Amino acid sequence: MRFATYEHGGEERAGVVRDGLIHPLPDGVSVLALVEAGVLHAAGAEALDAPGELTVAEVRLLPPLKPPSVRDFVGFEAHIEGVSKSLDGLEHVPEEWYRAPNFYFTNPHAAYGAHDDVPVPAGCSVLDFELEVGAVIGRGGRDLTPGEARDHVIGYLVFNDWSARDLQKPEKSLGLGFSKGKDFANTLGPWLVTADEVEDRRDADGFLDLEMTVALNGELIGRDTLANVSWTFEEMIAYASRDAWVRPGDILGSGTCGWGALAEFWGRLGERTPPPLRPGDEVTLTVERLGTVSNRIVPGRADAYLPRARKRGRTPRP
């Protein structure tokens, strides 16, 4: 099943999408609430028994759910190789990358819908996209094994982890992780596709073989498969849940696929071709079985608040 959250006539609703029609859930019921209650499939089946009221084209698609948290991994070796050369001048993947499926927490309150305009963040002149798949947790757990983790995934969605590369680079030098280079926008959608819809695409090693493509202004520029990720989602969830909880609605990003970001092109080609995103550009990400999100870049704020530190000295108080 495919669960959508949408806006129509000034009201926010949730529903199940089938053959382009939206079968609404009861008024006031959210996808996240159904996930938390463990009744998503049952509620979806009941909604499908009633006729659809609207087509997808008649509504504004919102993020399918409001995640309590978003962990974003760096699971594709090809992406690390290209971006490391672009941002850090490295000719190889750092050895530390191979040791564990590392992740950072990004902003769960910065989500955009599948076709929303995305403004350029303040102070940014090197805007980039990142093509990922997000796994959505359906049942809470802690200290999970990879074998246990599969039953904790309720579904998947397309995830664009937008990046302000010129803001991101100096942030890395502090060793605290990303902040303003990452927290301004994430596209989630177009809907939450339940895990059973893609289970037949799992290979013998446990990886989901789903084609991933990115088009810029209508031109296909990147292609990969989710099966090229170096850790399964189950392994990522097991690592994330070590000494910590994963909760219903949490999203775990796969990391950007190979050729899934402009920074990879810049690192491999040695020049900024294609150039950084600017207002008017349209980025379209498609993942097989999961759907398509397509966002147009628009101007953002002209000013940027940049408070500099005051030098206070190092003399201790008596």
Residue-wise pLDDT for 19-30, tens only, equals: 999 999 999 999
pLDDT interval class at 94 (50, 70, 90): confident
Task: Decide: 82 and 158 in contact? Cβ < 8 Å.
Answer: no
pLDDT at 104 over 80: yes
pLDDT value at residue 247: 98
pLDDT value at residue 212: 98
Instruction: Count Cβ atoms below 10 Å from residue 82 Cβ, excluding itself.
Output: 25
pLDDT value at residue 173: 80
Tokens 């919102």 belong to residue: 62
Eight-state DSSP code of residue 79? H
Domain locations along the chain: 2-62, 70-298
Instruction: Count Cβ atoms below 10 Å from residue 209 Cβ, excluding itself.
Output: 14
**Domain 70-298: what homologous superfamily?**
Fumarylacetoacetase-like, C-terminal domain (3.90.850.10)
Eight-state DSSP code of residue 51? P
pLDDT at 85 over 90: no
Of all residues in the chain, the percent with pLDDT exceeding 90 is 85
Residues 115-124: tens digit of each pLDDT: 999 999 999 9
pLDDT at 171 over 90: no
Residues 202-248: tens digit of each pLDDT: 999 999 999 999 999 999 999 999 999 999 999 999 999 999 999 99
pLDDT value at residue 210: 98
Give the H/E segment covering residue 286. Answer: strand 282-287
pLDDT at 88 over 90: no
Pairing of strands 186-194, 111-112: parallel
Residues 240-271: tens digit of each pLDDT: 999 999 999 999 999 999 999 999 999 989 89
Helices marked H in 176-261: 233-240
Tokens of 28: 């006031």
pLDDT interval class at 56 (50, 70, 90): very high
pLDDT at 316 over 80: no
Q: How far apart are CA 51 and CA 111, in angstroms?
A: 30
pLDDT value at residue 286: 98
What is the residue-averaged pLDDT of the chain?
Answer: 95
Q: How far apart are CA 263 and CA 265, in angstroms?
A: 5
Residue 34 CB-density burial (10 A; 0-12 exposed, 13-18 middle, 19+ buried):
buried
pLDDT at 107 over 90: yes
In Å, how far from its chain's centre is CA 185?
Answer: 10
- Between the alpha carbon of residue 142 and those of residues 68, 243, 281, the distances in Å are 16, 7, 42
pLDDT value at residue 53: 84
- Between the alpha carbon of residue 70 and those of residues 137, 152, 194, 240, 264, the distances in Å are 11, 16, 18, 11, 23
Task: Decide: 241 and 144 in contact? Cβ < 8 Å.
Answer: yes
Average pLDDT rounded to a whole number, residues 111-116:
98
**Burial annotation 273-309 (CB, 10 A radius, 16+ → b, else e):** eeebbeeebebbbbbeebbebbbebeebeeeeeeeee
pLDDT at 89 over 90: no
pLDDT value at residue 49: 97
